[in-house]
């Protein structure tokens, strides 16, 4: 926690001083982000959706969303977008209280979420004259990455993205420098994979969803490719392994969970405006999330993908195409089935987000297929990302109570059957 706070404070301090220091600023998104390439040009990244979720946790998103709706944005628009627009309309003040600088480049690495394209059209209108670079990422419709798909992306990097980054930064592209940065990325990716795999232990030493969203912070918020990220994840891994050796469960906002009663896999983003109350509904019942899809939104490393310094641009292309939001539904279902099996989950739960079609589309199909394939109990709740109007504590609690009651009955029946003589 201390390391991460220091890293983020330093990052936002650098951003607040960007105009004085001459640093160029790139607005981009988390899925498919090209943070290594941004670092290679000595520029600073800003992630609008991270600004939005931080606003949600600071209880500011409701006002920002209303201001965006007054400015003409529909109630049906992604609330990350409206929160970000409202934040811009109110001075663009970041979580540390410092004003975030305007972008020098808008870099859209499109990975599976069509809203990102419309969001960038909005940013383009709000920041007229700022150059836009788009990296179109082919969707994994057939569940595999072909040579043609990779070549298509590399060509875009060479002709569309890199030339604009060179012009904005005044720095010439240096592939040797990029390769050095990618070495740090691969090390951080190794560590974060080991960290999330520790939940295979019983009890799990961490919560892979509610705590997991903090763990993915540095790797998703612009530190991937830096020595700081490697240091952070090594320290985190060491702390978690110490908990494994001592047989300790996860730490919650109210202390160590004393007993692990249920192990869950969760699909979908969390609610940020009532994050602590949302988490409490789970840890009060002794429920630990051992794996989640949302913690892979910035990169799926489970099947062995690592940034490769020997193939820098091809590696960036493969990273973008392997993001969770760029996987087709059968791939997502297979990944969730692997989590349920490998992490010995007792149940599967969907948190369906009202304004996020990228995640919510296909979730009912996921539930049905996982239930049929694995015989696992499934549950369904609804909330929103950062719009407090769509978080109903009582409705979510009622559904979770029923879900946990079903899990308890299943475990009791299983225990009785195991106790019967052969």
Per residue in 135-144, pLDDT tens?
999 988 888 9
What's residue 115's pLDDT? 84
% pLDDT > 90, the chain: 84
When pLDDT is averaged across residues 166-187 and rounded to a whole number, the result is 98
The yes-or-no verdict on residue 363 having pLDDT over 90 is: yes
Q: Tell me if 127 sits within 8 A of 121, measured CB to CB.
A: no
Asked whether 319 and 296 are in contact (CB, 8 A), the reply is: no
Structure-block tokens of residue 70 = 């007054």
Q: Where are the alpha helices (DSSP H) in 291-384?
A: 312-321, 329-342, 357-360, 363-374
pLDDT above 70 (res 422): no
CA distances from 371 to 4, 327, 333, 409 (A): 38, 21, 11, 17
Beta bridge partners of 251: 256
Rg (CA), the chain: 21
pLDDT computed for residue 416 by the predictor: 66
What length is written for the chain?
A: 422
State whether CATH 3.40.50.11890 applies to domain 2-174: yes
Strands 378-383 and 251-252: unpaired
Q: What is the pLDDT of residues 301-311, one digit of tens each?
A: 998 999 999 99
The answer, yes or no, to whether residue 215 has pLDDT greater than 70, is yes
Q: How confident is the model at residue 290 (pLDDT cuts 50, 70, 90)?
A: very high
Q: Which two tokens stand for residue 294?
A: 């949302």
Mean pLDDT, to the nearest integer, of 246-270? 96
d(Cα 41, Cα 38) in Å, to the nearest integer? 5
The pLDDT tens digits for 25-37 are 999 999 889 999 9
Domains 2-174 and 179-419 share a fold: yes
For the chain, what is the mean pLDDT? 94
Measured CA to CA in angstroms, residue 17 lies from 25, 52, 102, 131, 224 at distances of: 11, 21, 12, 21, 22
Residue 414, pLDDT > 80, answer: no
Distance of CA 86 to the CA centre of its chain: 22
Task: Give the helix/strand (H/E) hosting 110.
Answer: strand 105-110
Hey, what are 241's tokens? 């392994």
**pTM above 0.75?**
yes
Question: Dihedrals φ, ψ of 24, to 5°?
Answer: -90, 145
Task: Tell me the pLDDT band of 98, cut-offs 50, 70 and 90.
Answer: confident
Arithmetic mean of pLDDT, 47-56: 92
Spans of all domains in the chain: 2-174, 179-419
Distance of CA 393 to the CA centre of its chain: 23
In the prediction, which pLDDT does 101 show? 95
C-alpha distances in angstroms, 241 versus 198, 260, 315?
Answer: 8, 18, 30
Q: Are 350 and 268 spatial neighbours (Cβ–Cβ below 8 Å)? A: yes
Residue pair 123/27 in contact (Cβ under 8 Å)? The answer is yes
pLDDT number for residue 291: 98
Using the CB atoms, write b or e for 229-249: b if 16+ within 10 Å. Answer: bbbbbeebbeebeebeeeebb
| Neighbour-count burial for 57-92, b at 16+ CB within 10 Å, e otherwise | eeebbbebbebbeeeebeeebbbbbbbbbbbbeeeb
Instruction: Give the C-alpha separation, 262 to 275, whole Å.
Output: 20
Greater model confidence, 96 or 64: 64
Architecture of domain 179-419: 3-Layer(aba) Sandwich (3.40)
pLDDT in tens, 321-340: 998 988 999 999 999 999 99
Q: Find out whether 67 and 49 touch, Cβ atoms under 8 Å.
A: no
């Amino acid at each position: 926690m201390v390391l991460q706070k220091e890293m983020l404070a330093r990052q936002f301090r650098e951003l607040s001083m960007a105009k004085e220091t001459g640093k160029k600023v790139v607005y981009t998104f988390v899925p498919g982000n090209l943070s290594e390439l941004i670092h290679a040009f000595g520029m600073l990244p800003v992630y609008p959706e991270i600004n939005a979720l931080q606003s949600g946790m600071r209880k500011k998103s409701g006002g920002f969303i209303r201001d965006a709706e007054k400015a003409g944005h529909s109630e049906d628009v992604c609330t990350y977008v409206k929160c970000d627009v409202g934040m811009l309309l109110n001075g663009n003040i970041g979580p540390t209280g410092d004003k975030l600088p305007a972008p020098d480049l808008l870099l859209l690495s499109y990975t599976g979420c069509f809203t990102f394209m419309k969001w960038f059209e909005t940013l383009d209108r709000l920041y007229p004259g700022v150059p836009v670079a788009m990296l179109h990422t082919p969707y994994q419709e057939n569940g595999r990455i072909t040579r043609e798909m990779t070549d298509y992306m590399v060509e875009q990097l060479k002709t569309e993205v890199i030339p604009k980054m060179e012009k904005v930064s005044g720095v010439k592209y240096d592939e040797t420098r990029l390769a050095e940065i990618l070495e740090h990325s691969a090390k951080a990716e190794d560590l974060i994979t080991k960290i999330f795999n520790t939940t295979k232990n019983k009890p799990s030493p961490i919560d892979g969803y509610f705590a997991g969203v903090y763990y993915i912070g540095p790797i998703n918020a612009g530190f991937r490719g830096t020595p700081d990220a490697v240091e952070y994840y090594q320290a985190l891994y060491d702390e978690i392994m110490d908990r494994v050796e001592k047989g300790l469960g996860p730490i919650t906002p109210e202390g160590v969970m004393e007993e692990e009663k249920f192990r869950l896999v969760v699909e979908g983003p969390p609610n940020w405006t009532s994050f602590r109350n949302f988490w409490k509904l789970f840890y009060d019942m002794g429920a630990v999330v051992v794996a989640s899809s949302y913690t892979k939104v910035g990169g799926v490393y489970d099947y062995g993908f690592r940034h490769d310094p020997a193939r820098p641009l091809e590696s960036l292309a493969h990273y973008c195409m392997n993001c969770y939001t760029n996987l087709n539904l059968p791939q997502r279902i297979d990944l969730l089935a692997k989590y349920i099996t490998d992490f010995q989950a007792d149940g599967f739960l969907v948190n369906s987000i009202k304004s996020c079609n990228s995640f919510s589309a296909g979730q009912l199909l996921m539930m049905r297929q996982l239930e049929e394939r694995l015989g696992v109990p499934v549950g369904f709740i609804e909330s929103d990302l950062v719009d407090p109007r769509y978080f109903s504590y009582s409705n979510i609690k009622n559904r979770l109570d029923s879900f946990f009651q079903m899990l308890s009955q299943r475990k009791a029946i299983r225990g009785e059957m195991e106790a019967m003589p052969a």
